[in-house]
Structure 1
Amino acid sequence: MVRLKWRYRKRLRKKYGRLIWKVKNRKGRKGFFKSTVHRYPRRNYRILVANEYIAAHLAKSLGLPVARVIQAHVRGPRGRIKRGLISMQAKGGQVIPWKKAKKKLLKKPHKYVKQAKKLARLVAFDAWILNPDRSDRNLILHKKKSGKKYKWYGIDHGISLFGNPTKWNLRRAKKKFSCKKAYKFCLHSGDKKKQRIPRGLKRFTRDNRKQLGKMVKKIQAMPKGKLKKAIRRVPKGLLTKAEKKFIQKVLLCRHKHLKKALKRVSKHFA
């Protein structure tokens, strides 16, 4: 019998083959629970987990704040137990998504957000890991009641790297992916999505282009061993050897073509 440590609080979304709930554990810690709702839950769930675990480890290795991710079981509103991932919410104080930030913060993030320059670096990171879903909901601001400036962290990397879990197919991905065209976005997953950038950050990133360059150098300097370590973070039995080898190849190829990829992204800056 599964021991349930987390409780369902509220449903937020059910979209793109995934459902997202607000949850809370017995100690009062809060988080965002994510699970698959497709008819092939095992296949889709393992890719969802892989995307989240690899992306979170790579972000931390590059000095970018991201939520801690854990696997858990939660009983839903109809009594059915679901297996999924929880992105831990920051403790106490005020916690809001970027979507609810005031206009003055969106215009001048450096005045109201700590480590604001890293927000520009986040654009380069998302380009590298093929993350099309950095929406206003997936960037979180938090501060203590007495704090003057917000801190921030990223959540939800579920359709980065391998792409949408419901569409993943290794054979098709291998046919589509080419190192010569590695600068293109979502090439291997078959999606036609473009990289999303939260409100206000297009202009902010344009004004802080040096940060893009710094992140590109940091990514390109990352040793191959760290990539392998990030991939090994995925719980055992969820990825095949061929899938591990493929995603490592994708990331290494995008190392080389990252500047070209960012030029394509920069065309959409305000």
Structure 2
Amino acid sequence: MKLKWRYRKHLRKRYGRLIWIVRKRKNRKGYFKSNVRAHHRKSYRILVANEYIAAYLAKKLGLPVAKVLQARVRGPRGYIKRGLVSVKANARKVIPWKKAKSYVKKKPQKYIKNAKKLARLVAFDAWILNPDRSNRNLILYRRKSWKKYKWYGIDHGISLFGNPDKWNLRKAKKKFSCKKAYKFCLHTGDKKKQRIPYGLKRFTRENRKQLDKMVKKIQSLPTSEIKKAIKRVPKGCLKKSEKKFIQKVLQCRRKQMKKALKRVSKRFA
């Protein structure tokens, strides 16, 4: 794997991972994510699996997400780190939801293209067990100041299998039950609740039909597409038993989507 991306700036550390801003030729930028501990193989392979599966499923359901790829980057002290790059949109203005003006958050349909899909995002996150759709993990961008923003999602690193540092297949199998698959983060043991960016609770409540449409899309998604999503994970990152388990989780939650959304919707009030 060649060193195609170059370190530019340290952004932050969270969940045992560091995040850098990196740059490629032709001024392409991205966010590089890697484990703080250099030789923690299990954590890295589960992180990769979470990102690759989530990105594939989102695209199949018509939701925009950042392109994710593996990369090696030389850090500020000269050492080389292996991790994942979320490619940044090539646009004049790219901002996280957190930095959007209040009027944009209050009336997304007026300032954001395909804003209705933002309501669908809540259902998707519920399906893939994503607790971290924070104000930083939803990106707005536009090439010209008078145009509407477009958007995409990033950072699905603790969805699906959960926090990579805490993943344990034996414990997950013991906790998971198809009958209780509507409960959030059941198999990981996490007590996290699904986060929803500021302003989107009200917007989703007002666009309930879009939420229901996404539930139908998820429930009609063929099992073959779930299998393809798992196959997209780079070779060597998932064991056969882990592939089988996460397929079961997604299939069971697919059946329980209405129940799962009912739990999430209580927070819209």
TM-score after normalising by structure 2:
0.98
Distance, in Å, in 2 between the alignment partners of 1:156 and 1:76 is 21
Aligned-residue identity in percent: 77
- What amino acid maps onto 2:235 in structure 1? K
Give yes or no for contact 1:97–1:141 (8 Å, CA) kept in 2: yes
Distance, in Å, in 1 between the alignment partners of 2:155 and 2:104 is 22
SS at match of 1:137: coil
Match of 2:178 in 1: 179
Q: Could you tell which deviates more after superposition, 255-264 or 47-56?
A: 255-264
Give yes or no for contact 1:107–1:200 (8 Å, CA) kept in 2: yes
Q: 1:249 to 1:262 in 2, by over 3 A?
A: same
Give yes or no for contact 2:38–2:81 (8 Å, CA) kept in 1: no
2:65 maps to 1:66: yes
- What amino acid maps onto 1:185 in structure 2? F
Give yes or no for contact 1:71–1:86 (8 Å, CA) kept in 2: yes
Distance, in Å, in 2 between the alignment partners of 1:4 and 1:221 is 41
SS at match of 1:141: strand
Instruction: Compute the displacement of 1:41 (Å).
Output: 1.6
Match of 2:247 in 1: 248
TM-score after normalising by structure 1:
0.98
Question: Residues 61-140 of structure 1 correspond to what in structure 2 (within 5 A)?
Answer: 61-140=60-139
Instruction: Compute the displacement of 1:26 (Å).
Output: 2.2
Give yes or no for contact 1:38–1:44 (8 Å, CA) kept in 2: no
CA distances 1:226-260 after superposition (whole Å, capped 9, x unpaired):
00000000001110110000000000000111111
Give yes or no for contact 1:67–1:154 (8 Å, CA) kept in 2: yes
Question: Residues 231-242 of structure 1 correspond to what in structure 2 (within 5 A)?
Answer: 231-242=230-241
SS at match of 1:195: coil
Instruction: Compute the displacement of 1:146 (Å).
Output: 4.6
SS at match of 1:206: helix
Distance, in Å, in 2 between the alignment partners of 1:174 and 1:151 is 39
Instruction: Compute the displacement of 1:172 (Å).
Output: 0.3
Kindly report the root-mean-square deviation, in angstroms, between the aligned alpha carbons of the 2 structures.
1.0
Question: Residues 129-168 of structure 1 correspond to what in structure 2 (within 5 A)?
Answer: 129-168=128-167
Instruction: Compute the displacement of 1:145 (Å).
Output: 1.9
Structure 2 residue ranges without an equivalent (≥5)? none
Q: Could you tell which deviates more after superposition, 4-13 or 189-198?
A: 4-13
Give yes or no for contact 1:38–1:166 (8 Å, CA) kept in 2: no
Instruction: Compute the displacement of 1:92 (Å).
Output: 2.5
Structure 1 residue ranges without an equivalent (≥5)? none
Instruction: Compute the displacement of 1:3 (Å).
Output: 3.0
Give yes or no for contact 2:218–2:254 (8 Å, CA) kept in 1: yes
Distance, in Å, in 2 between the alignment partners of 1:91 and 1:243 is 35
CA distances 1:9-66 after superposition (whole Å, capped 9, x unpaired):
1111111111111100122100000011247521100000000000000000000000
Distance, in Å, in 1 between the alignment partners of 2:175 and 2:79 is 38
Give yes or no for contact 1:177–1:188 (8 Å, CA) kept in 2: yes
Instruction: Compute the displacement of 1:85 (Å).
Output: 0.3
Distance, in Å, in 1 between the alignment partners of 2:38 and 2:267 is 37
SS at match of 1:249: helix
- What amino acid maps onto 1:238 in structure 2? C
Instruction: Compute the displacement of 1:109 (Å).
Output: 0.3
Give yes or no for contact 1:36–1:44 (8 Å, CA) kept in 2: yes
Q: How many residues align?
A: 269
SS at match of 1:267: helix
SS at match of 1:23: strand
Q: Runs of at least 4 residues of structure 1 off by over 6 A?
A: none
